[in-house]
Amino acid sequence: MTEFEFLGELSVLISLPKPENAVTIAVSSRVLFRTEKEQKVFEQKGIEEYLRYQVEHENEPFAPGPAFPFVKALETVNNRLRELYPDSEELFDIVLVTYNHAHVGIRLINTINYHNLFIERFCMTGGSSPIGYLKAWHTNLYLSADAEKVQEALAEGIAAATMFMPEKQIEVSETQLRVAFDGDAVLFSDESERIFKAHGLDKFFEHERENENRLLDHGPLKGFLEVLGKLQKKFYAKGHRMDCPIRTYLVTARSAASSGIRALKTLRAWGLEMDEALFLAGAPKGPMLEKIRPHIYFDDQMFHVEGAVEMGAIAAHVPYGIAQKYPHKKSTNAGK
Amino acid sequence: MEDKKNCTGPLMIALQYNDLFDLDSISTSTDTDALPKGRAFTFMKAVQTVNERLVEQNKSDCLLFEVILISKECSEEIKTKIVESVKHYGLEIGKFFFCKKEELINTLQSNKVKLFLSTERDDVYEALHTGIPAALLYDQADDHVFNQLTVIFSGDVIGFSEDSLDGLSEFGFSETQIETIKTAKICMKEFAVLIGQMRRRFGQENSPLCTCVLTSWGSRNVCASALKTLREWGLDVDEAFCLAGAPCSPILAVVKPHILWDGGLLNMS
């Protein structure tokens, strides 16, 4: 490295935000990149062989994984934010948090270099739990392939979701970050979900009508929507409402005419705007997601996540609430 | 297996007695038999665990840790108390050195310690400056698990090139600080080589020795450079952290190292 390159590197680092000021997104290596082959080696031959394999293939970069387009989109938003607010630390900060061993470190760094990602911060915990590190980094969102780790994070109050690799992938925007959320048990608590599961659809409608003016409690991803909203307002303040590089969507099985009202009132009371609210009244979510093409879609029900992934949409499972105990049955998915 | 034929041990580490025992709470301590435990206690226990596991694997292993205790300027009464307390707690201390403050560096040099550990930053940098390998004994707030010794190497010290280190003067680092960092790299090498040999005695899982690289200022490529260099020295670390300017304390609070090689970079803001 020449001195010029070195000084350049250091000045870049000095411009990285403090974790508490940034919107910190922690991603694991298995969702940022595709590591299925390596996973198989680990599962079939054990850790020593797995590490040997990784080191042998050190100079072969991994292919992009399910979180890759999302991370690229975050970088696009950062570039726009820096243009408008050059001194602000309110940026996305992407941290690689993996429980991989540091033996895989060189391959991971080579891969980051190959794909030209702006990731300078990472924790390779060598098998120890990543949860303590998530807190140390003031993580706003954690994406991983490991449902257990994600549940641990949720239990600690950190927004988290498990991601899956679609077989085919629909093209997503390179200029606008699109984030879609399910409502119940994602943005909102699972209280209404519980009524539905325990007492059925009619009881659910009754309950929502009776409680129309009582706000829903918050869910695990509410905080993340909030920070997105904060960044959006920064673009609006500089006249970029029409071409804002962040767009948010609500994709819910609730119906606009009835149960959806409570959801909207709650969002309004929270001071959160969603760019689009799509009330599907129980219709399948896949076609809508195909239209939206989100960089990430959060849902608490595996059924919906799998359906989305089948269509090529990038979906993430939030293992929160009652839906985890009672997996969805196709026949009961009537209009909500 | 060359390192089993040549005996490269023991790995001698020097501690100061005021780190091993807490002299500030003597007056409030109710135990009259021994001095109260100090900040180096979990370190001692972790080192003893590593030694036990090494001997378990190979009875004649000579690459073991050996800890010596250095005391600067204390009364005869305290000297006796120190030796008694060590026995009381069952600590494996190889040698005791009672010397004057000015003699500390000489004592370390003449005993060819492979590492001088102290919670006092100034003592550490003074030692490094004279070419004695020295690192911070990280102040453990709580009594956590003793069954693993955790060592952190500075990715900045190892990963930055010589030219780059000279360039640090543009960022407010003094000549002395830069020299200390360069010396730290040289000192780190011998220690890293020995730790590497020790680490290889154990498998990936259930190892009593955990080695890490922490890059505080350097970019990911500096960290990669540090990982490659350590590998050349015979040490494949278990954990790696790259902070790119983020504060270290929250991360260190999770890693909970015993030995922290930073060469003076970590307390920069």
Domains contained in chain A, CATH given: 12-163 (3.40.50.1000), 177-325 (3.40.50.1000)
Q: Which amino acid is at A44?
A: Q
Which pLDDT belongs to residue A235?
A: 97
Asked which of B17-31, B104-118, B121-135 is least confident by mean pLDDT, the reply is B17-31
Nearest-neighbour CA in chain B from A278: distance (Å)? 40
Which residues of chain B neighbour A126 with C-beta distances below 8 Å? 210, 212, 238-239
Looking at chain B from residue 131 to 190, which residues have their Cβ under 8 Å from any Cβ of chain A? 160-161, 163-164, 166-167, 170-171
Which residues of chain B neighbour A19 with C-beta distances below 8 Å? 246-247, 250
Which pLDDT belongs to residue B144?
A: 64
- Confidence grade of residue B76 (pLDDT, cut at 50, 70, 90): confident
B55 touches chain A (CB under 8 A): no
Contact B225, B264 (CB under 8 A): no
In eight-state DSSP terms, residue B6 is: S
State the average pLDDT over residues B156-171: 86
Q: Within a 10 A sphere around the Cβ of B56, how many other Cβ atoms?
A: 11
H-assigned helices in chain B:
2-5, 17-20, 41-57, 76-89, 104-110, 121-129, 155-159, 162-167, 175-199, 220-232, 249-255
Catalytic position from the list A93, A182, A190, A300: A182
Which pLDDT belongs to residue B8?
A: 73
In whole angstroms, what is the distance from residue A212 CA to residue A266 CA?
Answer: 9
A299 is catalytic: no
In whole angstroms, what is the distance from residue B159 CA to residue B211 CA?
Answer: 16
Which pLDDT belongs to residue B31?
A: 62
Q: Which two tokens stand for residue A235?
A: 């673009």
With CA atoms as reference, the chain B residue closest to A132 would be: B254
Which pLDDT belongs to residue B148?
A: 92
Q: What residues contact residue B216 under an 8 Å CB cut-off, 6+ apart?
A: B154, B155, B156, B243, B245, B248, B262, B265, B266, B268
ipTM of model: 0.91
Smallest Cβ distance to B224: which of A16, A109, A121? Answer: A109
Contact: A102, B237; criterion CB under 8 Å: yes
Contact A69, A178 (CB under 8 A): no
Q: What phi, psi does A80 have (nearest 5°)? A: -65, -40
Which residues of chain A neighbour B166 with C-beta distances below 8 Å? 3
pLDDT tens for chain A, 336 residues long, are: 454 555 555 655 566 899 999 999 999 999 999 999 999 999 999 999 999 999 999 999 999 999 999 999 999 999 999 999 999 999 999 999 999 999 999 999 999 999 999 999 999 999 999 999 999 999 999 999 999 999 999 999 999 999 988 888 889 999 999 999 999 999 999 998 888 888 988 888 889 888 888 999 999 999 999 999 999 999 999 999 999 999 999 999 888 888 888 999 999 999 998 999 999 988 889 899 999 999 999 999 999 999 999 889 999 999 999 888 876 654 344 444
In whole angstroms, what is the distance from residue A147 CA to residue A130 CA?
Answer: 13
B167 or B3, which is more confident:
B167
Task: Determine if the peptide bond prior to B10 is cis (ω within 30°).
Answer: yes
What number of helices (H) and strands (E) belong to chain A? 14, 12
Residues facing residue B37 across a β-bridge: B21
Q: Which two tokens stand for residue A296?
A: 């990430």
Q: What residues contact residue A232 under an 8 Å CB cut-off, 6+ apart?
A: A244, A246, A248, A273
* pTM of the complete model beyond 0.90: yes
Q: What is the mean pLDDT of chain B?
A: 87
Q: What residues contact residue A13 under an 8 Å CB cut-off, 6+ apart?
A: A120, B217, B218, B219, B244, B245
| Residue B18: pLDDT over 60 | yes
3-state secondary structure of A57: coil
Which pLDDT belongs to residue A51?
A: 94
